[in-house]
Structure 1
Amino acid sequence: MRIVLGVSAGIAAYKAVILARLLTEDGRQLEVIPTPAALEFVGRATWEAITGRPVTTSVFEGVDEVRHVRLGQQADLIVVAPATADLLARTRAGTAGDLLSSTLLASEAPKLLVPAMHTEMWRNPATVENVEVLRGRGIEVMEPASGRLTGTDSGPGRLPEPEQIKARIDQLLAPSGPLTGRRVVVTAGGTREPLDPVRYLGNRSSGKQGFALAEQAATAGAAVHLIAGITESQPPAGHPNITVERIETAAELQQAVHRRAADADVLIMAAAVADFRPAEYAAAKIKNNNDDAAPTITLSRNPDILAETVQRRTETGTGPAVIIGFAAETGDDRAEPLALAQQKLARKGCDLLVLNRVGENLVFGREDTEIHILASESAQAVLGQDVPVHFAGGKLQAAGVVVDCAATLLSSAAAGS
């Protein structure tokens, strides 16, 4: 596998040295293309010593080879880490002022851009728009990490650790996975139930766990349809195996799941669906007059999309072979979260139920999580005695555990059919 590693001019370029070392030690054929300004941070000699390859920055070096075309044609993947705000802007515009930008423009290989910049630059509307356009073109732009930046500043914009970048590279270059040829539907984020043109009922779901599930399913080879509700983070974009559909209300989610799950192999219901909605929608904003009594809001129950889908499969014999639900539980004075999740699994009838223990400073919006995977009697017979599965760690890794369980169940179902 041939990888082109582009390095643009940011202080995080020192991490790209570690990434280059990891890739070469893994046996990857690596060509490093720094921008001319990037050599102010890490010199040419360092790159050549690590890769054992000559390093150039200009299209006027190695002219006889037409390097910007040859490198792009031979690459299985082009990675730029760090990708500065300037590099993102130039890639979006399609400029070709140096060897790196020329190679990006001339190559049809998959591209992975790993941003690193100050928080204000990452959040600037120009950068936000550039990232959106690049993702729309099928270029994967990783989300930056949050943490210590240059000087004393801290916030989103930090380059992810080299090990994380390499893990994503390995995923992109993986020839196949246990879900290759399968169709997976993932729901993520929260729903928003309008009360009037201004107000709504909602929840605190960030969508991060559902997005991680979509990424891991796609990495496992599946064609993933991601149904995303209201989220504070952006769904994965630019991944060739993921399509994204946006919804807002529980009713819209119900329709989308009914439509998409019919021919899916796996359904993962990670969305935080509102249990209730206002019984009546006020066409005009409900006024807050201090001399009036507070209004009474009557609620209606939303459809149970997970139970409906399971029931439809039971009655028709069609639909996803594997259905996975999620339960966000706090526990109460009568039962612990695990007991409540067991009850929910029995009510819903799904194959697996993933328990998240939620609450103040737990799960919502965080990068880490703690899950228990509960299984139906038939699913437990396939998965063995290690169920319930307990995992604590990053949401991407937790998603991998869930996807592995789904792949095992699906393989067993295929073998038995």
Structure 2
Amino acid sequence: MKTVPTSARRSARNSRPGSMNRILGPRWVFPVYWALFLTTVLVLHPGTTLNWRTAGLIALLCGFFFLGATLATARLLTPLRRGRLARDLGLPREVPPLSATAILWVICVGSGANVLASLLALQTGPSSLTDILTLEDLAQSTNSLAIARYSQGEGASTLVVILLGLGYTAALVAPFLGNTLSIRRSLLILLPALTALAYSVVTSARLGFIVALALTLGGYLARIILTTGETPRVRLRTVVISVVLASVLALTFVGIGVLRTGSVNTQAFSVVVDKQAAYTVGTVGAFSSWFDQYGTGQGRELGFGTATVAGVEFLTGQDRDATRAYGEFAVIDNRGRTSNVYTAFRGLLIDFGIVGTVALMGILGFVFGRLHMRTAGGSPVAAGLLGYAYASVLLSGWMAPTTFTNILAVAFLAPSALRIAQRRASTGKLSMR
């Protein structure tokens, strides 16, 4: 097959250090995300239980993330690496090629794994593939699976969890397929997320689709930084597209919620729409109610990662189930509605306390800044980790992705896949730009 080189040269003008200060740069992305998230909560959920104490804590955590990222990207404290040296001296900057064949394999395997997970999920219910050809049949099947999952405690099998993990990995790697976006290439990039949507529709478990979308967006941002050496700008066109996509996403979630009720009708639609706002932004109210009960945290045993990182319980010897919030519901508004989703901050406070969490946010900001600089310097491995970090920021309003084993595995699998794609490209395999 013909080899298409991906090696591209960018002048110093396209790699300005000032791009670190952009909204999507390492210093501002987390504070801006949470400012927007809290604003959305106040607009869509005016009766929220969010109070000033919780808002102050979130602001403090965002501030320390900013300080950590600022320290990581400080010019005097940053050694001149190959990519940065070229940028600072005005020399051409070479972008490492990635094998399109290797990335296509990852996309196909991950998307196929999502489809297989959907079929296996159907096998656990009373319906088969031929029994869900109409909306009503699909709604009844989805409803039965939801009842089994929530009422009877039947979670996904180990095989399904592994398959979804492969799908998540493909979602993060897919945006690295190339720089020029044709319709065909765009569909290939979105294929892992679209097949994750199929699993969410079948099972009504919307988390998988949210995770796949966040990883795809994180990978897209990291790919731009890798190929251009700078943080992408947020333009008016970007804002308009984001609003449209958010609206489509909200309608998709409402549709999945309607299927979960077991019947497709206008009454179910109105009920689901009312609950959707609580499901989407009620996490902050739940965290605020929980944080009020948490107090100062003095006298509590710390989990040291048990609640936040899957597998750490084997090192700490603590009971991970005791840190889970599946059966722990908190009031989220003045209407008495409840939720068991508490943002990523609940687990961090359980693991490290208030002081430890504040310090940890500074460390995470520092790591984020370093990954950004390594990615801008031309490292595909750092780009994979940076994409995961961006996705973690996007998901922090609902959870810490490292809580789940198959999502945590993406932080290892995706950079490894990109490293393999780089090696295959360097040996003359097909690459794309």
State TM-score, norm by structure 2.
0.24
Q: Which has the higher contact order (CA 8 A, sep 6+)?
A: 2
Q: Which is strand-richer, 1 or 2? A: 1
Question: Which structure has greater helix proportion?
Answer: 2
Structure exhibiting the larger radius of gyration computed from Cα positions: 1
